[in-house]
Chain A
């Protein structure tokens, strides 16, 4: 349950980002703020300070003040409040991670169950499709799709998704991971199909649909649910990577990925800019994984007595 508490805390804090930015820190985390000032130890201080060492060229943003009202984690090289951006970025990252993981798991469950249960030509066609997607390196495929879709948007029948929409990275990330979930599910269903209780259902005269829904799905669902948090974490990382390459979340919007990118140039002087979103990703991913294990145990009727985490 500790994992769930941490996760809920992260989500709640991220959802409260506008409250923090508006009422606590009084900052706008999106436009650049090169001339801005803040208050450190009661003194007005510019958020970007000229360098005094070496050649004295360029500017360095202020570091963490550890003052929740004034640039708690310091500023980035645009003079923006890192902590406020961290919260806003978390909203985007969690949104993209969870929705694309959800989409991915639903698609994969549908295709994996069909391939495993029906076998034959259906299995062959679906498996080859998985192979094709799998044959490309994830990032290469995601980048190719992003480059095409982010310039033109996506038009399927009546549905039009604009080029700047968050739906595009969500769909792209969901699709590239479908084989990674669908393949193991297909294998699981293949082995389930040989079990005697499936034979019993066939012997009773149950339809394919009924067998899939009542016999196979309850046995496959725990695997999907264990996959889900893992996929959320993986999708968040993919989103970060795409954002890093400017083909995910578009600036000035923030995600944990874009903030890490912002922090890259400040790694030696202001490491907190990159470390903070990195830590957030780690904390979120670990708690998602622990949560997945907990949910699996909770769903397994044989594990009722096991302690919770």
Chain B
């Protein structure tokens, strides 16, 4: 598929914890994620804190080495590239970080921070870099005269704009934004989100947008992946996912999200999940969601469901998907019943 910019297959990331009475223990932070990011789209990734979405983001851009699996960017396998060979690809992939207070070096002037990518990749001489920095400042809506100030002289929203300017400096094609607005005030969130949307149009950017706020993700995403405990449990186009969630976890998340009840549709019944996200050190057998799932069956505790495509572009990892009626009437092509079809698509490949 030529329109796939970033292709992740069965990405796993383990962390080894040392010390303590138990000695070495392994945390499976990401357990076999497969997804495609298409050129020009915004793929939202949502999940509770600790579900591995930030780890996944860092694995996708190789800020962290993956434990296993593959990440292809524009047809090039990233996971095994040497640092030197990775450098030209780094120009294409940029990051926006969650905390605008931590992501800017407090002891460097913001103009230097924004110029950094240009200097690292030796793009142009000093004069043209200065010009480009001024241009980037205007693009993100900051006065270029601010370039000689230090990060602490800016508000959170302005800092995030600086972070965005840095990410744009090298004209990347993919921007991975790790909760870019969750540290900001609600009023500022909208401004930054609109800026990101404008920039996407202007520079034909592709976004991977990570958030824990379903409202924010719905606002910006074309497709949405829902993560739970290190795996993708549902992946669909945003509207479909919000209208008729297939996975019980997605359904529960949507039902407790306050902003989403205001539509003309029937008010959702609130599904409050009991308990917390399980400790990734003690992952439940079978479906990792079954201890909290309101519709769990004995099979869920025994067998881990694979991520399968129930209808075109509707992936779910559940033995007993919800809202199947809606799915049928909506697409008219949902031949598969509650029993998932054997995985035919490579995206369905899920670890055991």
Give A contacts to B, CB under 8 Å: 195-197, 199-207, 210, 214-215, 218-219, 301-302
Selecting from B21-29, B114-122, B255-263, the interface stretch reads B114-122
Give B contacts to A, CB under 8 Å: 58, 61, 63, 86-87, 90-91, 93-95, 97-99, 102-108, 116-117, 120-121, 150, 152, 163, 166, 170
> Smallest CB–CB gap between B35 and chain A, Å?
20
Given A215-B105, A219-B105, A301-B107, A201-B116 contact (CB < 8 Å)? yes
Task: List the B side residues contacting A214 at CB < 8 Å.
Answer: 105, 108, 116
Is the CB–CB distance between A203 and B108 below 8 Å? Answer: no
Tell me, in angstroms, the Cα distance from A204 to B90 when the chains sit together.
Answer: 6
Tell me, in angstroms, the Cα distance from A33 to B86 when the chains sit together.
Answer: 75
Is the CB–CB distance between A200 and B90 below 8 Å? Answer: no
Task: List the B side residues contacting A301 at CB < 8 Å.
Answer: 106-107, 150, 152
Residue of A nearest to B105 (CB): A197
Task: List the B side residues contacting A210 at CB < 8 Å.
Answer: 120
Task: List the B side residues contacting A215 at CB < 8 Å.
Answer: 105, 108
Closest 6 CB pairs of A and B: A205-B90, A196-B103, A218-B107, A196-B102, A301-B150, A197-B105
Task: List the A side residues contacting B166 at CB < 8 Å.
Answer: 200, 204
Residue of A nearest to B88 (CB): A205
Task: List the A side residues contacting B90 at CB < 8 Å.
Answer: 203-205
Tell me, in angstroms, the Cα distance from A215 to B151 when the chains sit together.
Answer: 14
Task: List the B side residues contacting A218 at CB < 8 Å.
Answer: 105, 107-108
Task: List the B side residues contacting A203 at CB < 8 Å.
Answer: 61, 63, 90, 93-95
> Smallest CB–CB gap between B116 and chain A, Å?
6
Residue of A nearest to B150 (CB): A301
Task: List the B side residues contacting A200 at CB < 8 Å.
Answer: 95, 97, 103, 163, 166
Is the CB–CB distance between A206 and B103 below 8 Å? Answer: no
> Smallest CB–CB gap between B180 and chain A, Å?
12
Is the CB–CB distance between A199 and B95 below 8 Å? Answer: yes
Task: List the B side residues contacting A202 at CB < 8 Å.
Answer: 63
Most buried by B among A201, A205, A210: A205
Task: List the A side residues contacting B104 at CB < 8 Å.
Answer: 197
Is the CB–CB distance between B63 and A197 below 8 Å? Answer: no
Is the CB–CB distance between A219 and B120 below 8 Å? Answer: no
> Smallest CB–CB gap between A203 and chain B, Å?
5
Is the CB–CB distance between A196 and B97 below 8 Å? Answer: yes
> Smallest CB–CB gap between A193 and chain B, Å?
12
Tell me, in angstroms, the Cα distance from A127 to B328 when the chains sit together.
Answer: 64
* Partner pick for A195 among B93, B102, B121, CB 8 A cutoff: B102
Tell me, in angstroms, the Cα distance from A214 to B98 when the chains sit together.
Answer: 22
- 6 further A-B contacts with Cβ under 8 Å, apart from A199-B58, A203-B94, A205-B87, are A195-B102, A196-B102, A197-B104, A200-B163, A218-B107, A302-B106
Task: List the B side residues contacting A204 at CB < 8 Å.
Answer: 90, 94, 116-117, 120-121, 166, 170
> What are 27 of the A-B contact pairs (CB < 8 Å)?
A196-B99, A196-B102, A197-B104, A197-B105, A199-B95, A200-B95, A200-B97, A202-B63, A203-B93, A203-B94, A204-B90, A204-B117, A205-B86, A205-B90, A205-B91, A205-B120, A205-B121, A206-B120, A207-B120, A210-B120, A214-B108, A215-B105, A218-B105, A219-B106, A219-B107, A301-B106, A301-B150
Tell me, in angstroms, the Cα distance from A204 to B103 when the chains sit together.
Answer: 13
Residue of B nearest to A222 (CB): B107
Task: List the A side residues contacting B99 at CB < 8 Å.
Answer: 196
